């Protein structure tokens, strides 16, 4: 399990990073927790690895000043996990312990997880559910893309081979927000067989005025639906189950494998979705935003 | 919950340095990387694709870090990087400039084990031991950095390392035992005193020289490691020659060197420094050392001589020793010659293990004492054929030697394969 030879560079500025990527035969190296296994198994043989960790501004993280929490490209998952300010994005805190293992989160980055876009990964699902904004720099300048448009399929994004994801901004929670997160994996730390992320917002009177549900591990990417109307069915898990079962049939299309059939994944999704939506709604009404 | 008041974005510098930029290293070139391993700063020359696990094992002789899958799944290779557990197989050494690395060798030493090591032993938390270094480093990280996760759900918190034989009960019991015994935090690693870590400085040069049988890199100063020695040798021999003649041999460095089987004085310098060469043959293993010795104490009245020696072989092994020789007269007109040596080993020879290193050193000293006796009596030492210089009956010696040879054969095969595929 040794990687094929590659050149390595750790440029000092973003411009230098972009210059190294120009031509398209380089790959960004962030935490390496997904890229290095690919290299070790020789599934990929990039000519050059461009390590982004020496660029000072890519290491920034914290409130962005506009009710968002912004995370730069070289910020490691574990730093966010232990950052008190990240608690203002409860879904990130809820999902983070499920991203691989502690030993991987010490190196893996939040932006790397988005850029890698594994269909069963937690953080892209959280980003999609919250409508997080992904900043991308490339030869044609910089642009900001909504997470749902950023991910275009399994391990595919709108970031091209000459682009770098520079940061992602998650909206912080406000009054009336409630959240839910759950996944089923064969073992803790494995990618999920199926998982759900949801957010519910209620008015001061307690009426649902916005709700979104994202499933992951169930299709070629995280799939997000507006479920504001669905919550009219009621508040309890049982009330919501028929609607989530119907939704599962519509969006869960991952083919069966040794770990579970498509039908099994649909059941997982329907059960988890009903449960987490019900919880999120209760939390929103109680003014609680975390578990 | 409301948004926190705005504050300027922070840099990710918590426990972690921002690495300095690094110039491009071409795929088939190598570059020097300097980092700290178990308290000792070390520089290695590596190609971009060499991962930290291989550097620790092959260049620095720190074989405590195991490699299982080499793609991030098993956790065998877990080490502490800047205080946090990380997979050594998912990190290229070139990413580690300026990093602080602690391996299981740095967690505790055989004589001063870390509480986690003691607990693993007490709870039978290992069977074959293959996962143990990874389990220890992961559990250290857990208790040091995320004790709340340990308290909440220990099995999940420890799920990053796999064990294929003991089962997890003993391991979890050991970790929770330590968590309970140290509510204010797990004690720091214990084996991080600066010590000798002499690796192969350059992969290309080292291996080429090894194959061509050319000289080892020249040492110019004697530096004694400060960490605990790999082996301590205390031997006393009874010599027939009177003490004055024995002392005469001890102060004649040329003669003295020849008393050690396989050793030879090459050149003497000022400050009582002497360059020499020594060959050690152990079954099929043959190591050739170039070394430098410096006399640091010479007491003619007490017949005491103390010197520091340091040697390196072409394959990246290194030895260093702090030796005190003491001659004292006996009632029958003969001499009792005693030696005390703190021996430090690293690189390939370190794989022999402490017990074997001690055995070999002891055996060498006995032959040395016989040589001193002969020299004291006749003024010279007879040549001993290399093959018979050191014969060890111990099965352990044979096994270790065979193991070492297999490993070497492996490396040569790998190299040949690499060579043939370009
Ligand atoms: C055993 C194991 C279990 C895992 N389990 C999970 C899990 O359960 N859930 C989960 O979500 N993840 C899991 N992972 C993946 C891990 O979380 C990675 O950290 C993450 O997916 C990628 O982040 P990284 O910083 O390590 O990226 P890297 O490995 O450095 O990069 C991954 C890919 O993204 C690209 N990339 C990275 N950063 C950028 C950027 N800024 N701009 C453009 N492209 C970029 C790289 O070129 C590469 O193609 C697991 C990994 C392992 C080894
Ligand atoms: S060797 Fe298996 S995780 Fe590193
Ligand atoms: S003790 Fe053998 S693998 Fe864990």
Domains of chain B, earliest start first? 31-181 (3.10.20.30), 231-378 (3.30.530.20)
ipTM over 0.90: yes
Does the beta carbon of A175 lie under 8 angstroms from any beta carbon of chain B? Answer: yes
Q: What's the start-to-end Cα distance of chain B, in Å?
A: 60
Q: Output the six-digit token pair for A211.
A: 């709700």
Question: Please, where in chain A does CATH 3.30.465.10 lie?
Answer: 56-170
pLDDT more than 70, % of chain B: 73
Contact B138, B149 (CB under 8 A): no
Q: Output the six-digit token pair for B327.
A: 């001659």
Q: Output the six-digit token pair for A142.
A: 């910089």
Please enumerate in sequence order all residues whose Cβ is within 8 A of that of B227, keeping only pairs 6 or more positions apart, or say none. Answer: B40, B191, B193, B194, B195, B196, B344
Contact A147, A121 (CB under 8 A): no
Contact B287, B279 (CB under 8 A): yes
Least confident range from A95-99, A113-117, B340-344: namely B340-344
Give the one of B25, B27, B160 whose C-beta lies nearest to A102's C-beta: B160
Within 10 Å of residue B323's Cβ, how many Cβ atoms? Answer: 20
Ligand 2: which of B65, B89, B103, B130 to mutate, most ligand atoms within 8 Å of CB? Answer: B89
Closest by CA position to A18, among listed A161, A194, A192, A122? A161
DSSP string, A88-106: GSHHHHHHGGGSS-HHHHT
Q: Would you say residue B420 has pLDDT above 60?
A: no
Give the one of B3, B89, B159 whose C-beta lies nearest to A187's C-beta: B159
B98 secondary structure, DSSP code: T
B88 secondary structure, DSSP code: G
Contact B58, B206 (CB under 8 A): no
Phi, psi of B77 (to 5 degrees): -90, 10
B24 and A9: CB-CB below 8 Å?
yes
Q: Would you say residue B394 has pLDDT above 50?
A: no
B4: chain A residues, CB-CB within 8 Å: 63, 85, 88, 172
Measured CA to CA, the distance from residue A9 to residue A19 in angstroms comes to: 11
Is 3.30.390.50 the CATH classification of the domain at A177-287?
yes
Q: What is the pLDDT at residue B290?
A: 84
CATH architecture of A7-51: 2-Layer Sandwich (3.30)
Q: Which atom of ligand 3 is nearest to the CA of B165?
A: 2
Within a 13 Å sphere around the CA of A253, how many CA atoms are in the beta-carbon half? 9
Q: Would you say residue A30 has pLDDT above 80?
A: yes
Measured CA to CA, the distance from residue B395 to residue A126 in angstroms comes to: 60
Detail the DSSP E strand segments found in A35-176. Answer: 48-51, 60-63, 68-72, 133-138, 141-146, 151-153, 156-157, 164-171
B165 Cβ closer than 6 Å to some ligand 3 atom: yes
Ligand 2 pocket list (CB less than 6 A)? B 67-70, 72-77, 87, 89
- Among the bound ligands, name the one nearest to the CA of residue B130: 3
B90 and A33: CB-CB below 8 Å?
yes
Give the one of B25, B87, B92 whose C-beta lies nearest to A103's C-beta: B87
Q: What is the 3-state secondary structure (H, E, C) of B323-334?
A: EEEEEEECCCCC
Contact B13, A58 (CB under 8 A): no
* Each residue's pLDDT tens digit, B132-172: 999 999 999 999 999 999 999 999 999 999 999 988 999 99
Q: Would you say residue B199 has pLDDT above 50?
A: no
Closest by CA position to B150, among listed B114, B117, B126, B186? B186
Q: Output the six-digit token pair for B249.
A: 């041999």
Count contacts between A and B (CB, < 8 Å). 184
Measured CA to CA, the distance from residue A256 to residue A254 in angstroms comes to: 7
Measured CA to CA, the distance from residue A14 to residue A34 in angstroms comes to: 22
Q: Measure Cα distances from A3 to A39, A50, A134, B87 in Å.
A: 5, 15, 30, 15
Q: Would you say residue B403 has pLDDT above 80?
A: no
Q: What is the pLDDT at residue B213?
A: 36
Q: What's the start-to-end Cα distance of chain A, in Å?
A: 41
Contact B230, B322 (CB under 8 A): no
Nearest CA in chain A to B148: A82
Q: Would you say residue B12 has pLDDT above 50?
A: no
Does the beta carbon of A177 lie under 8 angstroms from any beta carbon of chain B? Answer: yes
User: How close A107 gets to chain B, by Cα (Å)?
Assistant: 7
B6 and A63: CB-CB below 8 Å?
yes
Q: What angle do CA A102, A106, A111 make, to 5 degrees?
A: 110
Give the one of B9, B28, B149 whose C-beta lies nearest to A61's C-beta: B9
Least confident range from A166-180, A189-203, B9-23, B267-281: namely B9-23
At residue B364 the predicted structure's pLDDT band, cuts being 50, 70 and 90, is confident
Q: Strand B263-269 to strand A141-146: parallel, antiparallel, or no bridges (unpaired)?
A: unpaired
If you average pLDDT over residues B64-81, what whole number do you get? 97
Alpha-helical segments (H) within B34-81: 52-54
A113 Cβ closer than 6 Å to some ligand 1 atom: yes
Closest by CA position to B322, among listed B295, B353, B347? B295
Within a 13 Å sphere around the CA of B392, how many CA atoms are in the beta-carbon half? 23
**Separation of B418 CA from ligand 2 center, angstroms?**
22
Measured CA to CA, the distance from residue B407 to residue B285 in angstroms comes to: 12
If you average pLDDT over residues A241-247, what whole number do you get? 97
- Dmax (CA) for chain A in angstroms is 62
B10 and A62: CB-CB below 8 Å?
yes
Sort B196 into a burial class: Cβ within 10 Å, 0-12 / 13-18 / 19+.
Answer: buried
Within 10 Å of residue A204's Cβ, how many Cβ atoms? Answer: 7
B51 and A36: CB-CB below 8 Å?
yes
Say whether B421 sits in a helix, a strand or coil.
helix
A157 Cβ closer than 6 Å to some ligand 1 atom: no
Phi, psi of A108 (to 5 degrees): -60, 145
Closest by CA position to A69, among listed A143, A147, A173, A207? A173
A109 Cβ closer than 6 Å to some ligand 1 atom: yes
Q: Measure Cα distances from B277 to A184, B21, B266, B290, B315 in Å.
A: 64, 42, 7, 5, 15
* Each residue's pLDDT tens digit, B262-321: 888 888 888 788 888 887 766 556 677 788 888 888 999 999 999 888 888 766 677 888
- Among the bound ligands, name the one nearest to the CA of residue A21: 1
Contact A69, A91 (CB under 8 A): no
For testing contact with chain B, the best of A1, A101, A104, A110 (most B CBs within 10 A): A101
Residue that has been written with the tokens 């890698």 in this structure:
A116
Nearest CA in chain A to B68: A1
Exposure string (b/e) for B381-415, b if CB count within 10 Å is 16 or more? beeeeeeebbebeeeebeebbeebeeeeeeeeeee
B166 secondary structure, DSSP code: S
Measured CA to CA, the distance from residue A265 to residue A217 in angstroms comes to: 9
Question: Please, where in chain A does CATH 3.30.43.10 lie?
Answer: 7-51
A122 Cβ closer than 6 Å to some ligand 1 atom: yes
User: How close A133 gets to chain B, by Cα (Å)?
Assistant: 17
* Each residue's pLDDT tens digit, B168-198: 999 999 999 999 999 999 999 998 876 554 4
Measured CA to CA, the distance from residue A130 to residue A127 in angstroms comes to: 5
Q: Output the six-digit token pair for A112.
A: 């790397």
Measured CA to CA, the distance from residue A157 to residue A150 in angstroms comes to: 5
Closest by CA position to A19, among listed A47, A58, A50? A50
A7 and B142: CB-CB below 8 Å?
no
Does the beta carbon of A246 lie under 8 angstroms from any beta carbon of chain B? Answer: no
A165 Cβ closer than 6 Å to some ligand 1 atom: yes
For testing contact with chain B, the best of A1, A4, A8, A184 (most B CBs within 10 A): A8
Question: Please, where in chain A does CATH 3.30.390.50 lie?
Answer: 177-287
Q: Would you say residue B232 has pLDDT above 90?
A: no
B2 and A175: CB-CB below 8 Å?
yes
The correct CATH number of A56-170 out of 3.30.465.10, 3.30.70.1450, 3.30.499.10, 2.60.40.10 is 3.30.465.10
B1 and A48: CB-CB below 8 Å?
no
Q: Output the six-digit token pair for A228.
A: 């504001």
- Among the bound ligands, name the one nearest to the CA of residue B89: 2
Nearest CA in chain A to B87: A103
User: How close B392 gets to chain A, by Cα (Å)?
Assistant: 37
Higher pLDDT, A149 or B211: A149
Does the beta carbon of A74 lie under 8 angstroms from any beta carbon of chain B? Answer: yes
A85 and B141: CB-CB below 8 Å?
no
Higher pLDDT, B5 or A244: A244
For testing contact with chain A, the best of B2, B5, B11 (most A CBs within 10 A): B11
At residue A118 the predicted structure's pLDDT band, cuts being 50, 70 and 90, is very high
pLDDT more than 90, % of chain A: 92
Does the beta carbon of A9 lie under 8 angstroms from any beta carbon of chain B? Answer: yes
């Amino acid at each position: 399990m040794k990687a094929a030879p590659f050149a390595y560079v750790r440029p000092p500025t973003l411009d230098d990073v972009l210059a190294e990527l120009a031509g398209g035969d380089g790959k960004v190296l962030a935490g390496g927790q997904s890229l290095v296994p690919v290299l070790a198994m020789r599934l990929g043989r990039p000519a050059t690895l461009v390590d982004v960790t020496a660029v000072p501004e890519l290491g920034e993280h914290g409130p962005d000043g506009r009710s968002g929490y912004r995370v730069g490209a070289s910020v490691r998952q574990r730093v966010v996990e232990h950052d008190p300010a990240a608690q203002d994005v409860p879904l990130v805190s809820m999902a983070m312990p499920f991203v691989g293992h502690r030993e991987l989160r010490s190196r893996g980055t939040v932006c790397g997880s988005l850029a890698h876009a594994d269909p069963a990964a937690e953080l892209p699902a959280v980003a999609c559910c919250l409508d997080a904004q992904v900043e991308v720099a490339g030869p044609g300048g910089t642009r900001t893309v909504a997470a749902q448009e950023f991910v275009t399929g399994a391990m595919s994004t709108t970031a091209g081979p000459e682009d770098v994801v520079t940061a992602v901004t998650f909206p912080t929670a406000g009054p009336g927000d409630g959240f839910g997160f759950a996944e089923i994996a064969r073992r803790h730390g494995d990618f999920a067989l199926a998982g759900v992320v949801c957010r519910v917002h209620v008015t001061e009177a307690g009426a649902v005025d916005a709700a979104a549900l994202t499933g992951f591990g169930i299709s070629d990417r995280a799939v997000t639906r507006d479920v504001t109307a669905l919550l009219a069915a009621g508040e309890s898990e049982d009330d919501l189950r028929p609607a989530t079962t119907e939704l599962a049939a519509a969006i869960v299309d991952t083919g069966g494998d040794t770990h579970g059939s498509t039908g099994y994944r649909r059941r997982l999704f329907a059960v988890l979705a009903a449960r987490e939506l019900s919880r999120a709604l209760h939390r929103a009404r109680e003014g609680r935003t975390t578990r | 919950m409301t948004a926190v008041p705005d504050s300027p974005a922070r840099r990710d510098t918590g426990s972690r340095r921002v690495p300095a930029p690094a110039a491009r290293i071409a795929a088939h070139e190598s570059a020097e990387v300097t980092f700290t391993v178990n308290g000792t700063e070390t520089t290695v020359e590596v190609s971009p694709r060499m991962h930290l696990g291989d550097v620790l094992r092959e260049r620095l002789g720190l074989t405590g870090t195991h490699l299982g899958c080499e793609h991030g799944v098993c956790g065998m290779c877990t080490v502490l990087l800047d205080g946090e557990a990380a997979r050594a197989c998912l990190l290229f050494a070139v990413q580690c400039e300026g990093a602080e690395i602690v391996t299981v060798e740095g967690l505790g030493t055989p004589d001063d084990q870390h509480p986690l090591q003691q607990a693993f032993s007490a709870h039978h938390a290992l069977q074959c031991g293959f996962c143990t270094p990874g389990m220890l480093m992961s559990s250290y990280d857990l208790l040091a950095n995320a004790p709340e996760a340990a308290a909440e759900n220990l099995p999940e918190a420890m799920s990053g390392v796999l064990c294929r034989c003991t089962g997890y009960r003993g391991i979890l019991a050991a970790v929770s035992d330590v968590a309970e015994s140290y509510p204010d935090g797990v004690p720091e690693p214990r084996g991080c005193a600066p010590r000798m870590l002499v690796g192969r400085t350059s992969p290309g040069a080292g291996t080429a020289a090894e194959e061509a049988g050319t000289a080892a890199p020249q040492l110019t100063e004697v530096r004694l490691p400060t960490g605990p020695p790999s082996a301590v040798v205390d031997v006393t021999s009874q010599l027939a020659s009177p003490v004055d003649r024995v002392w005469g041999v001890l102060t004649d460095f040329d003669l003295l060197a020849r008393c050690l089987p396989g050793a030879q004085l090459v050149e003497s310098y000022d400050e009582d420094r002497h360059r020499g060469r020594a060959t050690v043959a152990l079954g099929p293993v043959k190591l050739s050392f170039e070394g430098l010795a410096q006399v640091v104490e010479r007491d003619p009245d007490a017949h005491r001589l103390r010197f520091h020696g340091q040697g390196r072989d072409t394959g990246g092994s290194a030895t260093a020793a702090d030796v005190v020789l003491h001659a004292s007269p006996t009632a029958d007109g003969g001499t009792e010659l005693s030696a005390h040596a703190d021996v430090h080993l690293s690189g390939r020879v370190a794989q022999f293990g402490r017990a074997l290193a001690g055995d070999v050193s002891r055996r060498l000293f006995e032959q040395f004492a016989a040589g001193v006796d002969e020299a004291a009596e006749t003024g010279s030492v007879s040549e001993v054929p290399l093959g018979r210089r050191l014969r060890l009956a111990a099965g352990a010696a044979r096994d270790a030697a065979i193991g070492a040879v297999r490993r070497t054969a492996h490396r040569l095969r790998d190299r040949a394969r690499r060579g043939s595929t370009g």
